[in-house]
Amino acid sequence: MEHSVTVELVDVTKYYENKCLFRNISKKLLPGECLTVTGPNGSGKSTLLKIISGLVKTSSGKINLRCNANRLISPCERAKYIGFVSPELVFYKSLTGYENIDFIAKASGMAALPEFIMASLQRVGLSGQAHEPVINYSTGMRQRLKFALLLVLNPPLWLLDEPSSNLDTAGKKLVADLIHKALTRSTSIILATNEAEEANYAHQKINLA
């Protein structure tokens, strides 16, 4: 990994017309640290992650992503530093798993070697179905595909929203391994989850009441 990312949340507040999700959250996440976001359904975990990814605006306060602890990362180049695993991440159904990863990588401004893509598909146990259209994938296989994408993009900041949903025990184990490995490689990870055991990776915690 060339560079690492530091995430600063400065008084982040988000409310929708009718309700306030969270207010004045301030945190600083260093490379190699894991921040877990917990809370009941509808408490705003995914929203917070989307705010950090830049897809949703804060109501007040702001997010600073710093490359190698100094340079600020501008909105338009964020894509290159962030990997997002989310239930809302949807693949192109008529394309195969391989094509999806290849396309998204290219669209985000990097060309990946075919064997590298295949290797990461292998890693998540999809090498068999690499060339089947995603519409034929099972929910679990789609979830695995998201991690294959993450491995290919290999960004310095991971945003994981319910990473192990729809996965079988083997899959859950795989995710745990990936997270551990990533942390050792000084990746910053922000993890929104409902599972108690996933909260254990945390160096820091945010609990949205």
Partner 1 sequence: MLNHRISNIITALAAVGVIYAVFFIVPPVEGLGEKVRIVFFHIPAAWISVMAFVLSALWALRYLNTHQIEYDRKSATAAGLGFFFCLLATISGALFAKITWGAYWNWDPRQTTIFILLLLYGASFALRTAIHDIDQRAKISSAYSLLSIVVMPFLVFVIPRYYSSLHPSPVINSAAKIAMDPVMLYTLIAALLVASALFRQLFIYYIERTRRRDLAQKDSPEGGGRL
Partner 2 sequence: MHTKKLTWPNSAWAILYKDLLCEFRTRYALGTLTMFTLVTLSGISMTLAGAAISSSIAAMLLWIILFFCAMAGLARTFVYEQEAGTLFTLRLYANGQAVLAGKLLFNILLLQLVTALLIPLFLIFLNIEVHLWGQLVYVLFFGTVGVAAVATLTAFMVSCTNAKGSLFTVITFPLLLPQFLTAIAATEQILTDMIPSWNECFFLAGYDATVIAAASLLFDYLWYD
Ligand X SMILES: Nc1ncnc2c1ncn2[C@@H]1O[C@H](COP(=O)(O)OP(=O)(O)OP(=O)(O)O)[C@@H](O)[C@H]1O
Binding site for its own copies (CB under 8 A): 16, 39-42, 45-46, 87-88, 125, 129, 136-141, 143-144, 162, 165-171, 194, 196
Q: What distances in angstroms separate CA 122 from CA 97, 117, 152, 171, 206, one per listed residue? A: 12, 9, 12, 13, 34
CB 22 to ligand X: min, Å: 9
20 lies in the binding site for partner 1 (CB under 8 A): yes
> What is the rounded distance in angstroms from the CA atom of residue 89 to the CA atom of residue 197?
23
Could you give the 3-state DSSP secondary structure of residue 49?
Answer: helix
CB 76 to partner 2: min, Å: 6
Q: Which residues of 167-193 are buried (b: 16+ CB within 10 A; e: fewer)?
A: beeebbebbbebbeebbeeebbbbbbb
Binding region for partner 2 (CB under 8 A) out of 3-11, 37-45, 79-87, 193-201: 79-87
**Which partner from the list partner 1, ligand X, its own copies, none does 70 bind, CB cut-off 5 to 8 Å by kind?**
none
Site string for partner 2, 128-147 (x = CB under 8 A): -----x--------------
Nearer to partner 1 (CB atom), residue 32 or residue 61: 61
